[in-house]
Amino acid sequence: MNNFKKMVALRVEDLQEHYKLYEGLIYTYSFKDTRSMLGYYTSIYSYRYRLIENENNAHPYIEIYNFDNIDDILELNKLMNTYGWYAIDIIDKYNKPHHEKSELKNFKEVKNIFSIIYRAKFDIEIDKKFWPRYLYHVSPSKNLDKINRYGLIPKSESKVTGHEDHIYLYDISDDKFTLEELAEEIHKSGLKEQLDKPKKNIPDHYKNKYIVFKIDMEMQKDYFRLFADPDLTDSYFTLDNISSLSIHLEEIINLKI
């Protein structure tokens, strides 16, 4: 086993020791953590990397380039996979992309590799020191009493769209959108879900009235985890309960749609 393989094995052991899976949830390590790992190995091997931001910067891409040899590429790829990043494109020295399934599975099929582009495979967790102080949650008005009493629960019906086990939260601190605009977008998504099921009547609570809750993130428990939503800028989700003690009714919105 060469030195690179030994270091990879030791690094994987370190990950297994310090980072435990969260109730079966597998997720991608943040770009910050991945960058630390890549920075460590660039001091030994002559490759470089850069971050490629997408539209909402929730799931960015990482391009690694300037490799010495194929063995280093293969070992580094194993480490990237361990961190929850997977290859979506291989670029050769003639700037030709390779993204066939067989090529991504076996890099040796591609001659003269110049760079590899990686994408986050799983949900990216947001470090607590980067949490916004306040986030907002929008829900149909029929859920008001239940949320006031029990808080937000992932498996409840306190959301309109998205995964049934996720609570979606939004940051409006940069004024990219207003609470009413946010409610309108969520309303349209929820309405579409109902229209996709023509045998069911559209409930009244989808038609025009929504409640907006302001959530104090500093009041969340130590175990609370926040993830970036890859589908919307300044949007997040959690799989944890949010206590009613940290929730404040911010606004009731009657949409004119």
Letter string b/e over residues 102-127, b meaning 16 or more CB atoms within 10 A of that residue's CB: ebbeebeebeebbbbbbbbbbbbbbe
pLDDT at 33: 79
Pair 86, 161 in one domain: no
Kindly give, in sequence order, each residue whose CB lies less than 8 Å from that of residue 31, ignoring residues fewer than 6 positions away: 51, 60, 62, 124
pTM for this predicted structure: 0.55
Number of domains comprising the chain: 2
Quote the CA–CA distance of 172 and 135 in Å, as a whole number: 8
Let me know whether 84 and 154 are in one domain.
no
Would you list the DSSP string of 120-168? E-SEEBPPGGG--SEEEEEEEGGGHHHHHHH-B-TTSS--SSS-TT-EE
59-111 per-position pLDDT tens digit: 567 888 887 788 888 888 888 888 888 898 899 989 998 988 888 888 888 98
Give me the amino acid identity at 17.
E
Please check whether residues 94 and 152 belong to one and the same domain.
no
**Dist. CA 253–CA 251, nearest whole Å:** 6
Does one domain contain both 249 and 135? yes
> Is the separation of the CB atoms in 106 and 116 below 8 Å?
no
Residue ending a domain, among 124, 149, 166, is 124
For 237, the enclosing helix (H) or strand (E) is strand 235-238
Q: Which residue has the higher pLDDT, 165 or 9?
A: 165
Calculate helix-pair angle for 70-82, 3-18, nearest 10 degrees.
0
% of the chain at pLDDT higher than 90: 16
Domain of 249, in residue numbers? 128-254
Q: Which residues does residue 212 pair with via DSSP β-bridges, in sequence order? A: 138, 251
The pLDDT of residue 1 is above 60: no
Token pair listed for 78 = 């194993």
pLDDT, tens digit (0-9, with 9 covering 90-100), for 124-153: 778 888 899 999 998 888 888 999 999 999
C-alpha distances in angstroms, 32 versus 39, 83, 88, 227?
10, 11, 20, 14
Q: Are residues 153 and 244 in the same domain?
A: yes
- Which residues neighbour 11 within 8 Å (Cβ) at sequence distance 6 or greater? 37, 79, 82
What does the radius of gyration of the chain's CA atoms come to, in whole angstroms?
22
* Residue 256 predicted with pLDDT over 50: yes
> Does residue 224 carry a pLDDT above 80?
yes
Same domain, 112 and 158: no
Residues 175-217: pLDDT tens digits? 767 778 877 777 776 544 443 444 445 455 446 788 899 999 9
Last residue of a domain, one of 77, 102, 124: 124
Q: What is the CATH number of the domain that holds 205?
A: 3.20.170.30
Shared domain for 113 and 139, answered yes or no, is no
152 and 204 belong to one structural domain: yes
Domain boundary among 124, 157, 173: 124
Same domain, 111 and 185: no
Question: In terms of domains, do 12 and 48 share one?
Answer: yes
113 and 136 in one domain? Answer: no
Considering the domain architecture, whether residues 103 and 133 belong to the same structural domain is answered as no
**pLDDT, tens only, 103-125:** 888 888 898 889 999 887 777 77
What residues form DSSP beta bridges with 117? Answer: 63, 89
